[in-house]
């Protein structure tokens, strides 16, 4: 069994939580928010360890008592970690709840073996009603080993957009309104704006800022043995997020999952700038006709490429995130008809495509419409006096 890796950074947040815990002032419900992969869930697990530790110090959990060791191994009976899972097929009713719990148990077993992994925006998973009902039942029971039970609800924004119903979010809301004595709730979210307002109003927010590129690179070198130059490249693309940076690292099967998205997003932008509209049709046909939610991450990378293209077109190449692609971006900028300032007209195309993907519209239709809109924005000069 592999123990959790050390928590990197967020010293000020940790110091505030240590002080609040020592004074018995920790909120019953905390909402940890920040960019994906910045360490929200690791901080939540650290905070759980702090509350379950038998002898916390001024620096945090002692790390050596039995409760601390159990938390580090993800085996403490009073630590309950809920996170999005894939919906099991072919089951319903009580059997669905059991299947969801089984899926969570399987995922938790994998996390025990490999706790450090890339952070991906997997819209194909959700925090379904059955999981929240299981959480509520556990919360009504007494702690097994410690004085409190700690519940972590990861990616809490995925409580809402499932089956066109807020039932799972409402089930959690009832628990937040009347938490049983000795229960602590820690929610994490990369998109807190997608949470129900009533959930946000019942949780004390804690924002985690991005780490420095140096800290992210140093972490990967120290804990994964990554070469310095590769770690710096991935850390730069990670934008202050260890979990995101991990997604760019290659493995035995090829490029990392986020690097694949980054490359595919570049192809969409190149299709929009191609000499013929047929390139957009070809890009659309490369997509599967189903499973649109997987495109959400792709369109986010499309926005990043568009920002980099605007930087190159404006003569601000030092601001380009993908420094490994500056020459490619220069060639694309040479084909632009719109001015650098007019590139802002293209950004809404990605946002609308992302919302269509969340609505599970046909991926081929989404990509076809996206490339067409990008062509209009990038290859057509803005009318005189038009606002970006």
Q: DSSP for 68-92?
A: HHHHHTT--TTEEEE--EEPPSS--
CATH number for the domain spanning 144: value is 3.40.50.300
Shared domain check, 264 and 179 = no
Are 120 and 258 within 8 A, CB to CB?
yes
Q: What pLDDT is attached to residue 164?
A: 44
Best CA proximity match to 37, nearest among 254, 203, 256 = 256
Q: What pLDDT is attached to residue 383?
A: 59
Are 375 and 178 within 8 A, CB to CB?
no
Shared domain check, 254 and 201 = no
Q: What pLDDT is attached to residue 123?
A: 62
Shared domain check, 166 and 53 = yes
Shared domain check, 159 and 65 = yes
Does the residue 388 lie in any domain?
A: no
Q: Strands, E, within the chain: which ranges?
A: 29-33, 79-82, 85-86, 125-126, 149-153, 183-189, 204-207
Q: What pLDDT is attached to residue 210?
A: 96
> pLDDT tens string for the chain (388 positions)?
578 999 999 999 999 999 999 999 999 899 999 999 999 999 999 999 999 999 999 999 999 999 999 999 999 999 999 988 888 887 777 788 888 889 899 988 988 888 888 887 666 788 888 888 888 888 888 999 999 999 999 998 887 544 445 666 777 777 888 888 889 999 999 999 888 888 888 999 999 999 999 999 999 999 999 999 999 999 999 999 999 999 999 988 889 999 999 999 999 999 999 888 899 899 999 998 888 888 999 999 999 999 999 999 999 999 999 999 999 999 999 888 878 777 888 999 999 999 999 888 999 999 999 999 999 888 876 555 555 4
Shared domain check, 160 and 55 = yes
Specify the number of domains making up the chain. 2
Q: What pLDDT is attached to residue 163?
A: 47
Does the residue 120 lie in any domain?
A: yes
Q: What pLDDT is attached to residue 386?
A: 52
Range of the domain at 128: 11-207
CATH number for the domain spanning 374: value is 1.20.272
Q: Which tokens sit at 15?
A: 């110091």
Q: What pLDDT is attached to residue 161?
A: 46
CA atoms of 181 and 18, how far apart (whole Å): 21
């Amino acid at each position: 069994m592999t123990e959790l890796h050390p928590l990197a950074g967020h010293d000020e947040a940790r110091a505030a939580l240590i002080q609040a815990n020592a004074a018995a002032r920790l909120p019953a419900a905390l909402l940890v928010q920040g960019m994906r992969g910045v360490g929200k869930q690791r901080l939540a697990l650290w905070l759980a360890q702090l509350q379950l530790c038998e002898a916390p110090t001024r620096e945090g959990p002692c790390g050596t008592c039995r409760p601390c060791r159990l938390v580090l191994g993800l085996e403490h009976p009073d630590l309950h970690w809920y996170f999005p899972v894939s919906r099991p097929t072919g089951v319903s009713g009580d059997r669905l709840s059991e299947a969801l719990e089984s899926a969570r148990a399987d995922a938790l077993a994998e996390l025990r073996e490999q706790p450090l992994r890339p952070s991906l925006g997997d819209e194909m998973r959700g925090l379904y009603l059955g999981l929240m009902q299981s959480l509520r039942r556990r919360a009504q029971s007494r702690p097994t080993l410690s004085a409190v039970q700690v519940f972590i609800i990861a990616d809490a924004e995925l409580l809402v957009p499932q089956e066109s119903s807020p039932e799972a979010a409402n089930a959690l809301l009832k628990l937040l309104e009347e938490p049983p004595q000795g229960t602590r709730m820690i929610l994490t979210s990369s998109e807190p704006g997608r949470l129900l307002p009533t959930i946000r109003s019942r949780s004390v927010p804690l924002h985690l800022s991005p780490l420095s590129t140096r800290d992210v690179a140093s972490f990967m070198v120290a804990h994964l043995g990554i070469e310095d130059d590769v770690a710096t490249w991935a850390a730069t693309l990670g934008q202050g997020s260890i979990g995101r940076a991990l997604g760019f690292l290659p493995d035995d099967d090829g490029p990392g999952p986020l690097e694949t998205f980054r490359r595919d997003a570049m192809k969409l932008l190149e299709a929009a700038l191609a000499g013929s509209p047929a390139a957009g049709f070809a890009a659309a046909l490369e997509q599967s006709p189903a499973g649109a939610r997987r495109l959400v991450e792709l369109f986010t990378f499309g926005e990043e490429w568009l920002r980099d293209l605007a930087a190159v077109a404006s003569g601000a190449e030092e601001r380009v995130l993908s420094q490994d692609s500056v020459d490619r971006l220069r060639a694309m900028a040479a084909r632009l008809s719109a001015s650098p300032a007019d590139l802002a007209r293209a950004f809404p195309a990605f946002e609308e495509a992302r919302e269509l993907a969340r609505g599970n519209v046909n991926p081929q239709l989404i990509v076809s419409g996206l490339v067409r809109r990008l062509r209009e924005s990038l290859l057509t000069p803005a009318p005189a006096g038009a606002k970006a």
